[in-house]
Structure 1
Amino acid sequence: MKILITTTLKGNLTEAKVKSLVALPEVERIFYVSDRPGPFFEKVKYYCMPPRLLKVFNNNAVVRLVFKFFMVFYLSIVKRPDLLMGYSFMPHGINAALIGRILNIPRCINVIGGVLGVEGGGFTCGNNVLLKKLRKKDSFLEKILLRIANTSDFITVTGSNTRDFLISKGLDKEKIEILSSTIDTKRFFPANSKRIYDLITIAELIPSKGIDVFLKIVSRLKKNKFKIKAVILGDGELRRYLEDLSRKLGLEEIVQFAGFDSNVERYLNASKIFLLPTQNEGLSLSMLEAMACGAVPVVSKVGDLEDAVKNGVNGRLLDKDDIDGFASAISGLLRAPKTLALYSKSAVETIRENYTIKGATEKWKRILSNIRLSREVTSWYFDRLRSMNVLEIGYRLMRILRLRLLGARFLLLGKNTYLSPKASREARFFVDEKDIDFIRQDFAKVRKKGLFEIRDIDWYNDPVSNARCKGAFRDDTRHRIGFYQVEIRRIWELNRFQWLVSYAQQYAMERDEAAAEKIVSVLKDWIEKNPALKGINWSDSLEVSLRLLSWAWIYFLIKDSMAFHNDFEHIFLRSIYFQVNFIESNLSRYSSANNHLIGEGMGLFITGVLFPQLKGAGKRLKKGKAILEQEIEKQVYPDGVSKEQSTGYHEFVTDLYLISLIIARKNNIEFSDTLYSRLEKMCEFLMHMTDKNGNLPSIGDSDDGVVIRLDTLREGPNAVSVLNTASVIFNRRDFKKYSIDGKTLWLLGRKGYDRFSLLKKASNVGISKGFGHSGYYIMRHKDLFLSFDCGALGYLSLAAHGHADSLAITLNIGDRDILIDPGTYLYRSGNGWRDYFRSTKAHNTIRIDRLDQSEIRGPFLWGYKADAFVKSWWPNGGYDKVCGYHTGYARLDDPVVHTREVVFDKLHKEIIIDDILVSKKEHFAELFFHLHPDCILTRIGPNTLEILNKDAIIQIDLDPRLRTYISNGDKDPVCGWYSGGFGDKVETSTICAETYFKGNARFVTRILVRDKR
């Protein structure tokens, strides 16, 4: 991280402020614009006005200020710092805020002068020559400057008094951090030396520091017959005046004017009391240094001094003009050496606990982390805009306007004005009473416990991190790039209400009115706590669609209960009307038109069919149906594979279409033959990609989300249920998996069960299959399953759910996973983990020069995208062969082409992977093979390894020119991890092999499937 600082801080203050920053490894460089160079730091480069030029302009303050402004502007453009900082509110902090705003650079204002550094515009504080003539508080100017300051990303203050003042003026308290000067305790500490000075002060000799009051206090002590020895360190415009005053008061023999001395610790360790009767202050650095050396502070109760000085504990605080009070406090301490010693010890402890470089470094680490995330927000916005065309930008602006107007419409909506005077037709649900009677009599009842234990649901809480994320409906996009340490997906899962559908099923089976009342109370609670267009649960139209599907199930299963009375039904239907209007006004078009748009089409269609009593139901039905018809052709290849290049989302979209098709048939609504045909091919792909237990290889993203949860019979892979349902819809016995599952039973009812029972299961084991449009190739033999990915990164400009996995393979034997795709883990809250699980390194392929095949720009955003092409596909009875290449590294200055050929010799149970790399110059190549956590890995030779997963055994022979090592749960760099489900992460073994190559290089890997032991 590069930081640009503008200030007029002098040497000691520069050291105190900068030292904690340069200690951070993430701080790469600091560009420091000031009047004079500060102390040497390796990471700091100073930019100051040349002395000769200063001399020409007679050290003019206006010239110096203009120079610094333009130098900061110039460096901001040329150096492109990650953070722009200004020390002092006015002018440097405001300059930093303005320049940062203009150039879109994160900015931080460091208020070092306390309240007076801000109040009235900050003109009454400090010793700025330029501002001397303007020393007059101006409330109007103060408001303007505070508004500018509030545009900064962070504001640091020296203490709680300044923080509270800024908050009282309307500044965002979340932006304000107390971060005072730091003390180098290796330099400033109590030395075993004689304390020959009773009093010491260190300050610039200017009016605000109260050095004249210091002399008057010493004079008062002298009159009280105290033998005092005092020293004043510092220089300034008042030195001659103060020396004259000292002589007039007869203090020549008592007070020593030592001037400027860089070795201040020598004086502090020789002093008993640090006296500072200052008129205004932030948090005096000299006072903190004195306390670190054991000098007891006796100071004015101004600014933020009382944050460090606790009256009667480690020092004394007095009114700034109370000369008698100061004299009394000092004489009291000098007369009580034990008390003075206790105060001294406590002062040292205060510094060590609260004002060390280490403590400030930790605070800066947190601030810079947030700055980095804020920078990512900005970067994400620009990258996201680049992924849009002009039409999409216009559409999104219109969508914002529509949502604003929609909010106004909702406010004006009357009690019954959302209902249609006359429903056009009667809705027919998935199941009726006869179906439920059949399920009740012939199958196990729903056994769902815990309904009556549900209390006070927090609809905005992430149950894992226990953090809340309320947010605004479309205005807060930070959750989309991981700014919050909250996994929004987990919050949305709760708000999909799929868990409550199970309780509605239980009511339908048992007719327990108490259960119906509890369900109604939960729904009512959500409606009350999630008003229309407010909160994170109104931020995504797909989530609203899935919630409405769940609500439809709940409605039709419990609407005849006593709990679902007329008054609540109006509240419930009104909320559905709000939500479906939100979907209609907030569709995911253009670059976002992936599975979200299909889900939104399903939401419009299902709501239009099942709730004909709502106004506009017919129009929404047609619109939803049109979206479903159009998008299956746009988003699904002719070979039946989702263009998102994700097996998880392929299953999800297939489910969306099957559910829409079922409810359409129930209500005599016809879809096109094209939709039927493409949907059947989607099911065929699902059939070929599942193993014997119905599990899918985890290619691309997966959040484990399902369209609806209805399985009351047994838990199993959702893909099994999808194929079971498809077997009935398309009368395909090869789709049929095992016995009927609960979800299929509830979707299709008694008639569906009868048709399912008549289908005789057919086996497709051993059939190799290529999907040329999508680039997936499945090689099978008996119980061995091998997949090869030679498809696109993902769909549209975002490719949101794709991974950088070109030419990656997976291997499964029976129900044992061997070579795996490590999964997804998290979407938004995982920091770098999201990037790792999408990276080339996390897949069974080759990485060049430690770069991903495609460039990650955000959690759901890519920059440069690799294209993959199949050169040949040859399925044969004895062996299968596929060959492809990708363009991921064509972007390098010296392009690299990776071609991979995979040959599956079925007779000898051997897989041969032939990787060819072509370049002109030298590059670094890494080859990865990720194992399932259940695998036991044994090295039986330098480049020969044996993998055992229960009764599945394979041997891998890597090319002898590669250096091979094993990663397992490594964090720096990250490698050797597996996510078997969303939010889960465990250590696993990854075989890593690496080498340098130049020109044409060929590396052969042999995988031999051995007989069971």
Structure 2
Amino acid sequence: MKLRWYINRLRSMEPAEILHRVGELRRKTVSRHWKNGWRHHPARKLLPVFTDLGERLANASPEQRQAIGNAAEDALSGKFAALGVTWPRRDARSLYPDDLWRFDPVTGGTWPGPETYTFDIDYRHRSGRGDIKYVWEIGRLQQLPVLAAHAVFGDDPRPIGAIEAAVESWHRANPPFRGVGWASGIEVALRAISLIVTHDLVSERMSVACRNRIGEILAASAYWLPRFPSRFSSANNHLVAELAGEYLLGLALGRETRHAADRLAAETLKQILPDGCGAEQSPTYAAFTAEFILLCMAAARCHGQSFGKAAEDRLSAFAEFIEWLPERAGFGDDDEGRVMTLGDEADYAASVASSIRGFPGQPGRVSESHDFRSLIFGRPAGEAGGHHGLRTFRDGGISVWRGDLAGRCAELTFDHGPLGYLSIAAHGHADALSLALRLDGKPVLVDPGTWLYGSGGVWRNWFRSTRAHNTLNIASEDQSTMSGAFNWSHKATAGLIEVVPEPDWSVTAEHDGYLRRFGVMHRRTVRRAGEAILVTDRLIGQVREAEIVFQVASGLTVEVAGTVANIMEDGRTLLAIRFPHGVIAVRSGGETPGEGGWVAPRFGVKVPARRIAWRGEVGEEGVETVLQPVGAIPAGP
């Protein structure tokens, strides 16, 4: 497994990256015995980074104070939940035992600790220890800013005690550079951000020992981050996180920040496309990237600095993209990464978009969330008008249509974009020409989600496969070829062919993922025809047996009558799908991937859901599928 991973990874590298990796390996070898231990990273007096944070907390609404108070009480009672899992509740008298930072709540096991050099720990391949994501999640220390804010709101001494206990425990259990906490730059950056915000809020109420511990952790982090940067094929959201960490650490430690700021501004223009779509082909990863950048902009404003109008405009474009998307719309990977958070969030991308509008005081779609993020960045100056009609985001390859069909409010997305970002397209899914549909705000035809990363195994492959998405596949093969959990050896290229404006709008696109193996291009047209949506699939080149899939949202049922599949809720039909003549199969669940449908509503959770699959011959003349919403029953008098 490891040998195959290294071979596939090398195949995706250009000569310059191979040279970089050789140098990186040398630095890792040297670092095994260089500047290890806290004595090499003495504490320095930390400078305030977010100088207006106290004022912002003073203006918190009652709802924001309550939300922070609730999250803080959870932390003080030993509760922690993330990624679909609740950790065993800890005794309030011992909230942060040393083994917490390497404990896996799913397997009940522990990862190597301070006795092991961080780069000796193999977290990429299945080792029986579980998914490293869970250990890293609690190690981000994102409960600490919440506890600090709660302490600012009142005279309760418990939050400061809990913060000091967490800092002391983490410091003791994770010396530089031992254990899993130092293995990834993004984790180092996120933890540093949590400590910087916490220190800015309550440093005067902390003990000298706690301040020194924070200073040592930040000094070690400032040394470690630029030593192992994410470059070349790895330069995605990880690089943005590392640069954000470097910039904020520079402000806290009184060091030069211009280099990190310039690079972060440049990455903003690379990783958020001109039309606002995220280059990684995932709205939530784009939101994660945008939140890092926005946090640095907020810090820059406090210090009379700026990232420039181009970066600010690019964030604004991202906010507009999210405002066009249906609520909680998702495609590509989503590991629920957040920069500032109170915990579970109903619509993370919308919350970040709301903060982007609130930062300069623009109107926008106001997020319902009363979270810590809105305190730092502000909320939109007013509610902006809703978006209706057809909008095509050509750079990112997403078309969105909002309108009325058969008396229902329909929201449709059509994906005709690239697989992902950079040579490995790490977080993309093989979902070219897939679509999703919501009716009256309810998901009906959905993207399947993510499930798990390193420990996902064959199910990780299923959730990013073509067969799991609402598009066409040939011989159960993927459009793009997987070569690892975050790598693709062959990538389909999708392209937009034509957009016809409203009222009888249509969008036509194609991809070449099956050209080399099957000698055909897949072309799909999605168009409005009266009160229905028509989906026409063509295989350009020759006639092939194919499968057209529609993954139904969990909780909905399907009844087939002839060539019509009726998608129902509580016995009432929401959507009728009329297929051409062929074989229609409906199944949910199954022991192995592909037996039936599954959706992952969040990371680490998968539930069975109906999957409708039509099978038949498709050629250049095309086959047509009709999506017909069934009118809502009028409310009674």
TM-score (norm 2): 0.89
Pairing of 1:366-381 with structure 2 (within 5 A): 376-381=1-6
Secondary structure in 1 matching 2:221 = helix
Q: Does the aligned pair in 1 maintain the 2:102–2:112 contact within 8 Å?
A: yes
Q: Does 1:630 align with 2:630?
A: no
Q: Does 1:438 align with 2:59?
A: yes
Distance of 2:37 and 2:611 partners within structure 1:
60
Match of 1:706 among 327, 338, 344: 338
> Over residues 461-484 of structure 1, what are the superposed CA-to-partner deviations in whole Å (9 max), with x where a residue is unaligned?
221222323286663574324444
Q: Does 1:669 align with 2:305?
A: yes
> Over residues 643-666 of structure 1, what are the superposed CA-to-partner deviations in whole Å (9 max), with x where a residue is unaligned?
111122112112122111111112
Distance of 2:451 and 2:251 partners within structure 1:
36
> Over residues 381-427 of structure 1, what are the superposed CA-to-partner deviations in whole Å (9 max), with x where a residue is unaligned?
0110111122212212222333444554424875775648xx8xx53
Match of 2:150 among 506, 511, 514: 506
Secondary structure in 1 matching 2:516 = coil
1:607–1:964: structure 2 CA closer, same or farther, 3 Å change rule? same
What does residue 395 of structure 2 align with? 773
1:476–1:668: structure 2 CA closer, same or farther, 3 Å change rule? same
Q: Does the aligned pair in 1 maintain the 2:37–2:177 contact within 8 Å?
A: no
RMSD value over aligned CA atoms? 2.4
Distance of 1:475 and 1:414 partners within structure 2:
21
> Over residues 46-103 of structure 1, what are the superposed CA-to-partner deviations in whole Å (9 max), with x where a residue is unaligned?
xxxxxxxxxxxxxxxxxxxxxxxxxxxxxxxxxxxxxxxxxxxxxxxxxxxxxxxxxx
What does residue 214 of structure 2 align with? 572
Distance of 1:550 and 1:771 partners within structure 2:
34
What does residue 648 of structure 1 align with? 284
> Over residues 682-731 of structure 1, what are the superposed CA-to-partner deviations in whole Å (9 max), with x where a residue is unaligned?
11111111x3xxx33221000112111148xx954222321221222344
1:442–1:486: structure 2 CA closer, same or farther, 3 Å change rule? closer
Shift of 1:608: 1.3
Pairing of 1:441-840 with structure 2 (within 5 A): 444-445=65-66, 446-447=69-70, 448-449=73-74, 450-451=77-78, 452-453=92-93, 454-456=95-97, 457-470=99-112, 475-476=119-120, 478-484=122-128, 486-561=130-205, 564-612=206-254, 617-618=255-256, 621-689=257-325, 691=326, 695-710=327-342, 716-733=346-363, 735-737=364-366, 741-748=370-377, 752=378, 756=380, 759-782=381-404, 783-840=409-466
Q: Does the aligned pair in 1 maintain the 2:473–2:546 contact within 8 Å?
A: yes
Secondary structure in 2 matching 1:392 = helix
Distance of 2:485 and 2:460 partners within structure 1:
7
Q: Does the aligned pair in 2 maintain the 1:649–1:701 contact within 8 Å?
A: yes
Distance of 2:367 and 2:464 partners within structure 1:
34
Q: Does the aligned pair in 1 maintain the 2:588–2:609 contact within 8 Å?
A: yes
Distance of 1:996 and 1:914 partners within structure 2:
13
What does residue 992 of structure 1 align with? 613
1:895–1:557: structure 2 CA closer, same or farther, 3 Å change rule? same
Distance of 2:392 and 2:429 partners within structure 1:
20
Distance of 2:510 and 2:302 partners within structure 1:
47
What does residue 954 of structure 1 align with? 575
Shift of 1:818: 0.4
- Counterpart code for 1:529: A
Secondary structure in 1 matching 2:267 = helix
- Counterpart code for 1:722: V
Secondary structure in 1 matching 2:233 = helix
> Over residues 861-890 of structure 1, what are the superposed CA-to-partner deviations in whole Å (9 max), with x where a residue is unaligned?
1111100011101221x2220001101011
Secondary structure in 1 matching 2:448 = coil
1:657–1:521: structure 2 CA closer, same or farther, 3 Å change rule? same
- Counterpart code for 1:946: N
Secondary structure in 1 matching 2:505 = strand
Q: Does the aligned pair in 1 maintain the 2:319–2:354 contact within 8 Å?
A: no
1:476–1:404: structure 2 CA closer, same or farther, 3 Å change rule? closer
Shift of 1:989: 0.2
What does residue 889 of structure 1 align with? 514
Distance of 1:688 and 1:477 partners within structure 2:
42
Distance of 2:111 and 2:210 partners within structure 1:
28
Shift of 1:996: 4.4
> Over residues 122-149 of structure 1, what are the superposed CA-to-partner deviations in whole Å (9 max), with x where a residue is unaligned?
xxxxxxxxxxxxxxxxxxxxxxxxxxxx
Pairing of 1:784-933 with structure 2 (within 5 A): 784-876=410-502, 878-892=503-517, 894-905=518-529, 908-920=530-542, 923-933=544-554
Q: Does the aligned pair in 2 maintain the 1:968–1:990 contact within 8 Å?
A: yes
Distance of 1:436 and 1:860 partners within structure 2:
40
Q: Percent identity?
A: 27
**Which is worse superposed, 547-556 or 582-591?**
547-556
Secondary structure in 2 matching 1:994 = strand
Shift of 1:993: 1.1
Q: Does the aligned pair in 1 maintain the 2:481–2:488 contact within 8 Å?
A: yes
Q: Does the aligned pair in 1 maintain the 2:167–2:213 contact within 8 Å?
A: no
Distance of 2:65 and 2:225 partners within structure 1:
37
1:466–1:995: structure 2 CA closer, same or farther, 3 Å change rule? same
Secondary structure in 1 matching 2:625 = strand
Q: Does the aligned pair in 2 maintain the 1:850–1:924 contact within 8 Å?
A: no
> Over residues 231-262 of structure 1, what are the superposed CA-to-partner deviations in whole Å (9 max), with x where a residue is unaligned?
xxxxxxxxxxxxxxxxxxxxxxxxxxxxxxxx
Distance of 2:290 and 2:57 partners within structure 1:
25
Shift of 1:765: 3.4
Distance of 2:266 and 2:417 partners within structure 1:
23
What does residue 187 of structure 1 align with? none
Shift of 1:919: 3.7
Distance of 1:715 and 1:917 partners within structure 2:
41
Q: Does the aligned pair in 2 maintain the 1:407–1:532 contact within 8 Å?
A: no
TM-score (norm 1): 0.57
Distance of 2:118 and 2:504 partners within structure 1:
53
What does residue 319 of structure 1 align with? none
What does residue 87 of structure 2 align with? none
Distance of 1:412 and 1:702 partners within structure 2:
35
- Counterpart code for 1:965: A
Shift of 1:602: 0.8
Q: Does the aligned pair in 1 maintain the 2:366–2:382 contact within 8 Å?
A: no
- Structure 1 runs not aligned, ≥5 long: 1-375
Q: Does 1:397 align with 2:397?
A: no
Secondary structure in 2 matching 1:605 = helix
Pairing of 1:102-251 with structure 2 (within 5 A): none
Secondary structure in 2 matching 1:668 = coil
1:810–1:666: structure 2 CA closer, same or farther, 3 Å change rule? same
Comparing both chains, which one has the higher relative contact order based on Cα–Cα distances under 8 Å and sequence gaps of 6 or more? 2
Secondary structure in 2 matching 1:891 = helix
Secondary structure in 2 matching 1:841 = coil
- Counterpart code for 2:290: T
Q: Does 1:1004 align with 2:624?
A: yes
Shift of 1:536: 1.5
1:403–1:569: structure 2 CA closer, same or farther, 3 Å change rule? farther
